[in-house]
Amino acid sequence: MTLQEGTAIVDVLDGPPAKTRRSLVGTGKAGDIVLRVIAGLVLLYIFVPIFVIILFSFNKPAGKFNYTWQGFTLDNWANPFKYPALAQALKMSIEVAALSTVVAVVLGTLLAIALVRQRFRGNKAVETFLVLPLTAPEVVMGASLLTLFLDLGWATGFGTILIAHIAFEISFIAMTVRARVRGFDWTLEDASMDLGASPARTFFKVTLPLIVPGIVAAAMLSFALSLDDFIITYFVSGSTVTYPLFVNAAVKAAVPPQINVLATAILLISLVLLAVGTLYRRKRIDS
């Protein structure tokens, strides 16, 4: 998932739950069929590569490259971590994603709560500023961070990857959490204060429980963003290798089917998490 994808996905997740409605738009019978056929073809276009990725995770490649179909095997799935470098890269990606998300969640959430809950000078300016990291081309963000690190004389590696990921995640988390916590019943906070709770107690006992689902969702998306980031990481990684960097290097040397196995596994895990999240959200809305 790239930054822009993250932004688009949040728009939909935060919209009102989709309602089914009776078809009011008369396109006519023929028009209707044409529309459905086109929509189906576009869906097919979206899915063909995903299907190919899953299919080739079962391939028995003849050479170094897993590009042509040779035969079915379960070996790749039995040994997903056959290549230590790939396993190491994935581990590195998960570490970066987890650490950067923790830091970005704290900074981004504080910012989001201040934006929604408090009136202060420059509120609008801060909101506009937050959009910038999400709209700047990633190649320029990577290049600018690298220039800074070169100017400072910092060696690029794990630390600089972490710094870069936190930088793009803060905006993303702040925007996501802000969208989620808007329109909550904040009078509960006043009620808690009126009943004598201190601001800190009110924050931990009232505010936090209200916004935790939004934070969790933002954190999960941010984790996915970090796990998948290639362009920015490429500039600031030095000799540290993350999962996308491993894939990129593999394209030039040898593409093992384990790349497909791990991509499919990540997809499956994401799907499960997405399903759990949706069910949880529905339950909350119902109750």
- Is 77 an interacting residue with respect to another protein (CB under 8 A)? no
Candidate list 102, 144, 201, 208; residue touching another protein; CB under 8 A: 144
- Shortest distance, CB of residue 52 to another protein, whole angstroms? 5
- Is 216 an interacting residue with respect to another protein (CB under 8 A)? no
User: Which amino acid belongs to residue 207?
Assistant: T
Candidate list 172, 228, 240, 257; residue touching another protein; CB under 8 A: 228
Candidate list 214, 244, 256, 257; residue touching another protein; CB under 8 A: 244
Spatial separation of the C-alpha atoms in residues 157 and 166, rounded to whole Å? 14
Spatial separation of the C-alpha atoms in residues 209 and 166, rounded to whole Å? 24
DSSP string, 114-183: HHHH---TTHHHHHHHHHHHHHS-HHHHHHHHHHHHHHHTPPPSHHHHHHHHHHHHHHHHHHHHHHHHTT
- Interacting span for another protein (CB under 8 A) from 21-29, 70-78, 94-102, 204-212: 21-29
- Is 7 an interacting residue with respect to another protein (CB under 8 A)? yes
Distances from the Cα of 200 to the Cαs of 164, 192, 193, 206, in angstroms? Answer: 31, 11, 10, 10
- Shortest distance, CB of residue 63 to another protein, whole angstroms? 13
- Is 72 an interacting residue with respect to another protein (CB under 8 A)? no
Residue 63 neighbours by CB distance under 10 Å: 10
Residue 257 carries which DSSP code?
A: T
Candidate list 77, 154, 266, 277; residue touching another protein; CB under 8 A: 266
Spatial separation of the C-alpha atoms in residues 263 and 49, rounded to whole Å? 12
Q: Residue 103 half-sphere exposure, CB side, CA atoms within 13 Å?
A: 14
Pattern 150-189, binding to another protein, x per CB under 8 A? xx-----------xx-xx--xx--x---------------
Is residue 123 within 8 A of residue 221, CB to CB? The reply is no
- Interacting span for another protein (CB under 8 A) from 37-45, 73-81, 181-189, 209-217: 37-45
Q: At what angle do helices 138-152 and 158-181 cross, to 10 degrees?
A: 130
The pair of three-digit structure tokens given for residue 29, joined into one six-digit string: 């019978």
Residue 59 φ then ψ, to 5°: -80, 155
Q: Indicate the residue among 15 and 84 with the shorter CB distance to another protein.
A: 15
- Shortest distance, CB of residue 138 to another protein, whole angstroms? 6
- Interacting span for another protein (CB under 8 A) from 63-71, 75-83, 180-188, 205-213: 63-71
DSSP string, 21-47: -------HHHHHHHHHHHHHHHHHHHH
- Interacting span for another protein (CB under 8 A) from 16-24, 74-82, 183-191, 210-218: 16-24
- Shortest distance, CB of residue 49 to another protein, whole angstroms? 4
Candidate list 74, 75, 85, 135; residue touching another protein; CB under 8 A: 135
Query: Of residues 82-111, which lie at the interface with another protein (CB under 8 A)?
Result: 106-108, 110-111
- Interacting span for another protein (CB under 8 A) from 76-84, 184-192, 208-216, 246-254: 246-254
